[in-house]
């Protein structure tokens, strides 16, 4: 496989790989490094890539595994699993402060979810993957994916309702 053919396959997935890495590693620099490392790994296996039915799911699985390995390694022990991917520069200062506060709360809530629920929530609700693709990436069956996602959403909803109703009634 030549470089152009490889890039034609990887380019549409590259941004999703970066967002997943950012979700897991928090640091933009670490996410960029992780994305580059995964692309290099995929390049080294370029002849096998064309045999995969779903290259995107494979690339996302490799990204997930690489990031989890980075989180476990001692050199990256300072990294936390958080998500701060939402910034808006076209709103009033008050609205921006409220949005930042809400996103910080949401990040803390999502961070408190079990790892599997956190990953499934990211892939489905943020990255908009289909259940089949998530099942392939997470190596789980679709029923387990739906249950974990439902539990994650319920926990997030309950935490947000509790936060918003604090001191009322």
Q: What is the CATH number of the domain that holds 98?
A: 1.10.10.10
The answer to whether the beta carbons of residues 130 and 138 sit under 8 Å apart is: no
Do 50 and 104 fall within a single domain?
Answer: no
Do 74 and 95 fall within a single domain?
Answer: no
Do 7 and 40 fall within a single domain?
Answer: yes
Q: Among 73, 87, 57, which residue's Cα sits nearest to residue 25?
A: 73
Evaluated on CA atoms 111, 114, 117, 123, the torsion sign reads positive
Q: Is the pTM of this model over 0.75?
A: no
Give the CATH number, domain containing residue 7: 1.10.1740.10
Once rounded to an integer, what is the mean pLDDT over residues 106-126? 92
Where in the sequence is the domain holding 69, given as residue range(s)? 1-82
The helix-helix angle for 55-72 and 131-138 (nearest 10°) equals 50
Do 73 and 45 fall within a single domain?
Answer: yes
Do 119 and 139 fall within a single domain?
Answer: yes
Q: What is the predicted pLDDT for the residue at 82?
A: 45
Listed range (4-8, 86-90, 115-119) with the worst mean pLDDT:
86-90
Q: What is the predicted pLDDT for the residue at 88?
A: 46
Do 78 and 14 fall within a single domain?
Answer: yes
Predicted confidence (pLDDT) per residue in 99-112, tens digit: 888 888 888 999 99
Q: What is the predicted pLDDT for the residue at 158?
A: 92
């Amino acid at each position: 496989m030549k470089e152009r053919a490889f890039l034609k396959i990887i380019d549409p997935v590259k941004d999703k790989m970066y967002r997943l890495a950012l979700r897991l590693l928090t640091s933009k620099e670490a996410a960029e490094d992780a994305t580059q490392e995964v692309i290099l790994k995929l390049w080294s296996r370029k002849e096998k890539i064309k045999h995969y039915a779903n290259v995107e799911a494979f690339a996302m699985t490799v990204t997930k595994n690489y990031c989890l390995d980075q989180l476990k390694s001692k050199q990256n022990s300072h990294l936390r699993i958080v998500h701060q991917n939402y910034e808006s520069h076209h709103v009033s200062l008050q609205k921006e402060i409220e949005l930042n506060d809400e996103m910080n709360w949401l990040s803390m809530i999502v961070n408190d979810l079990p790892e599997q629920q956190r990953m499934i929530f990211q892939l489905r609700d943020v990255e908009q993957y289909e259940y089949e693709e998530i099942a392939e990436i997470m190596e789980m069956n679709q029923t387990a994916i739906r249950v974990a996602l439902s539990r994650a959403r319920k926990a997030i909803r309950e935490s947000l309702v509790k936060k918003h109703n604090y001191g009322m009634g």
